[in-house]
Amino acid sequence: MDREEARRKAEELVGQMTLEERASQLRYDAPAIERLGIPAYNWWNESLHGVARAGTATVFPQAIGMAASFDEELLEQVADCISTEGRAKYNAYSAKEDRDIYKGLTFWSPNVNIFRDPRWGRGHETYGEDPYLTSRLGVAFVKGLQGDGEVMKAAACGKHLAVHSGPEALRHEFNAEATAKDMEETYLPAFEALVKEAHVEAVMGAYNRVNGEPCCGSKTLIHDILREKWGFKGHFVSDCWAISDFHEHHMITSTPTESAAMALNAGCDLNCGVTYLHALAAYEQGMVKEETITEAAVRLFTTRYMLGLFDGSEYDKIPYEVVECGEHLAVADRMAKESVVLLKNDGILPLNLDRIKTIGVIGPNADSRRALMGNYHGTSSEYVTVAEGIRNYVGDRARVLYSEGCALFAEQMEQLAMNGDRLAEAKIVAEHSDVVVLCLGLDETLEGEEGDTGNSYASGDKIDLLLPKVQRDLMEAVASTGKPVVVCMMTGSAIDLRYPSEHFNAVMQVWYPGARGGRSIADILFGKVSPSGKLPVTFYDNLDNFPAFTDYHMAGRTYRYMEGKAQYPFGFGLTYGDVEVTEAAIVKVSDERDAFGLPDVTVKVKAKNKGSFGTDDVVQVYVKNSTSRYAVKNPALCAFKRVHMEAGECVETELTVPGRSFTVVDEEGKRLMDGTDFDLYVGTMQPDGRSAELTGKEPVKLQVQVIPAI
C-alpha cells in the first residue's frame, strides 16, 4: 500500500473520532477505540540486534559488532530476519489478544547517532564514528526491516535526532552546542540517508537540547530539516519521557501542558511517556490547534495502514516456527564471524590442535552470557560462551582448564576473601596450559544507557579507556607466567589495549558477539574461518588532550579530525591471509548527476591474497580534498566492499564513490563544491601512517578531477 492510499484511509478513520479519541492515540500505549473496531496498540518495540524484550528471538551481535563487518548486504539480511521474527511474534501474540509493550511492529531501531567520543556508554548501539559507514549500514538495516512487499513488513525508526552521544548522566538537562558545519558534516548525514534513500517510517528525537531547543520539541530539527528540507513523510516519536524533561529538567517550559503543546506544535506525533495526557488541556487553553492533534493522529494511522494492520497482509501467515530458526541462526553465526577484528597476531593464530594438549581459558568474560549480548537484546533458547565454544570445538582433542580469574570490576570474588582472590588460580591454570585464551572486557552493566545499567561508572559512560583495575591485575598475573596468550576483548567501545598488545601474542576485538557467539569465536581461534572485521571506531592510547566529553565540536575527534596517532585506527583489521590492493584505476565517471551536479565515480580494483589462508577482506576507498579550506582534516571513507579471496587468488571488483563525497561543508552549514581535484586512496585500511606501520602496506593513490555540471 503506498503512502497516499494509506493516508487517505487514515484521514477517513481519524475523521470518525472525537478529539478526545484522537488525542488518546498519540500515546505509545494507544488504547482501543472499540466503537470503530480499532484494537489497542503499543508502539514501543525494540530490534537493535534482534527482536528485543519480548521473549525468545535470535540474538545477533551487538550493532557495533555488526558495523565491524562493513557488510551492507549481510546487515540487510539480519534486519530481514528480525522483521520476519517480529511478524511471527506479532501474529502469535495478537491472536491471543496480547497487545502489550514490545509486541508490536514499530521497532525503534536503528541507532544512527555518531560515536564521537569513546566514553559514551550507548556507543555500542551505533554503527561507529563515521557518517558514511553509518549511513550505508543504517540504510541497509531499514530496507531489510521494512521490506519491499505490498505493505511494510515492519516499521523502522531512526534515532536519536540528532546531536546525541552523551554524557548519559546529563542527557535530561544537557544542551549540545553544535556548529552548522558539524551538523551537516557529521551529525545529520545518516538521518538524511535514512529518510531520502530508505524511506524510514519513523524518527525518534533525543533527550537533550541542541543549540537551545529540546530535540523532541525542536522546530529546527523536526519541521525545518526533517520535514521541509528532507521531505520526511512518516511519524516522529519522542524518546521515552523526554517531553517531561522540557519542564522538569531543561526548564524550557513551566508545566506538562506547555511541554505537550511545544512538542505537538513542533511536529512530534507520538509521545513515549505520559505528557500527551495533557494534549487536550493544551487545546482547551489555546496552546494547540485541533488540526495539529488531528494531523499527528493521521500520521500515526497512516503507519498502521502501511503495516497492513487493518486490511491484512502477505505477512499475516508467517508462522511462529520461524523464530530462532536454523536459517536465522546461520545468519547470526556469519555476522558474528565477520564482526571479529584481529588487531595483533604474531603467528600464534589460528591455534593448531595438533600441537596443543591443554588450553587455559581465563577471564571474567570467558564464561559470561551477559558479555555475549550487549543491551536491547532478546532471549535466546541457547547461549554459547567463549569457554563453551572452545570446549565444544576441541572435544577430546585437548584438555580445557578454566579460571574466572577475577570479577568484572569487583575487587574480590568471594565476600570474605582478600582482594584478587582468584589471581593465583588464574596463574596456576596458565602455568598448566600450552596456550591461554584470556577473555576480558565489559558488558552492559558497565557501558550502557543511563537508567538501564547498574555500573560503577557514570550512568553507563566510561570515565577513561582503561579496563577495571582487577582485570589489569589479571593481565599482569597471566603475563608473568610467560605462556602464549590470545586476548579476546569483549567490549562495545574503544579500550586502551597497549598492555595486551605489548605483552601477549594475539589480540582480537570480538565486541558482544550474540547469544551463540562463543561458537563463532572458536571457529576463528582454530582456523575454521579467518577473521575479517574492521574497526568502525578509532582506538586511542588514552584521553590526554582529548576534547571534553560535553564538547560537541568535532575538531580532534574520530579518524577524520584527529591530530595524533591512533593506537588502532578506524578501518584496521588483520586476517589470516595477506590481502593487498595491487592496482586501482578510475574506469567510469557517470553521466547522471546528483543534486550538487556531481557524478558518481567508479573505481576498478585488483587485489591479491598473497597468503596461504583463504579469507574475506574489506576494500576501502578514502577521499581527500587538499585545496578547500572547508575540507575535513584527514581522508574520509567514501566507498567499501567486502571480497573473498582464496590463498594466492587475485580478484577484480568495482566500487562506486558517490558524487556527494566530493562536496565540502562551509561554516554556515552549506554543502557545496569547492575544488575539482581529489586524491583517492584504495586499500584494505585507511591511508594513515599508523595503518601502514601495523600492516606494512600502503593503499594505492589515485587522482581524479570532478567537474560539476553547470
Question: Which positions are catalytic?
Answer: 239
Query: What is the pairing mode between strands 506-509 and 341-345?
Result: antiparallel
Dist. CA 108–CA 102, nearest whole Å: 10
The three-point CA angle 71-73-79 to 5° equals: 100
The answer to whether residues 384 and 518 touch, using CB atoms and an 8 Å cutoff, is yes
CB atoms within 10 A of CB 662: 27
Dist. CA 672–CA 659, nearest whole Å: 11
Backbone angles phi, psi at 451, to 5 degrees: 95, -20
The answer to whether residues 246 and 227 touch, using CB atoms and an 8 Å cutoff, is no
Dist. CA 137–CA 84, nearest whole Å: 19
The answer to whether residues 165 and 117 touch, using CB atoms and an 8 Å cutoff, is yes
Dist. CA 494–CA 128, nearest whole Å: 10
The three-point CA angle 159-89-44 to 5° equals: 30
232-247 b/e (C-beta count within 10 Å ≥ 16 → b) = bebbbbbbbbbbbbbb
Could you check whether the bond before residue 110 is cis, i.e. omega within 30 degrees of 0?
A: yes
Q: What is the Cα 391 distance to its own chain's centre?
A: 30
User: What percent helix, strand, coil does the chain show, rounded to 5?
Assistant: 30, 20, 50
Cell of 271: 509521545
Closest residue by Cα to residue 398 from 345, 442, 352: 352
Instruction: Write the CB contacts of 338 (distance below 8 Å, at least 6 apart in sequence).
Output: 68, 69, 71, 74, 532, 533, 616, 642
Amino acid identity, residue 263? Answer: A
Query: What is the pairing mode between strands 175-176 and 209-210?
Result: parallel
Residue position matching grid coordinates 517531553: 243
The answer to whether residues 387 and 361 touch, using CB atoms and an 8 Å cutoff, is yes
Dist. CA 409–CA 470, nearest whole Å: 6
20 burial level (CB within 10 Å; 0-12, 13-18, 19+): exposed
Q: What is the DSSP string of 514-581?
A: -TTHHHHHHHHHTTSS------SS-B-S--TTPPPTT----TT-HHHH--S--SB-TT--B-SS-EEE
Closest residue by Cα to residue 633 from 554, 574, 547: 554
Backbone angles phi, psi at 695, to 5 degrees: -105, -20
649-659 b/e (C-beta count within 10 Å ≥ 16 → b) = eebeeebbbbb
* CA count, 13 A, side-chain hemisphere, 9: 17
Three-state DSSP at 680 gives: strand
Q: What is the Cα 268 distance to its own chain's centre?
A: 24
Closest residue by Cα to residue 449 from 150, 148, 111, 169: 169
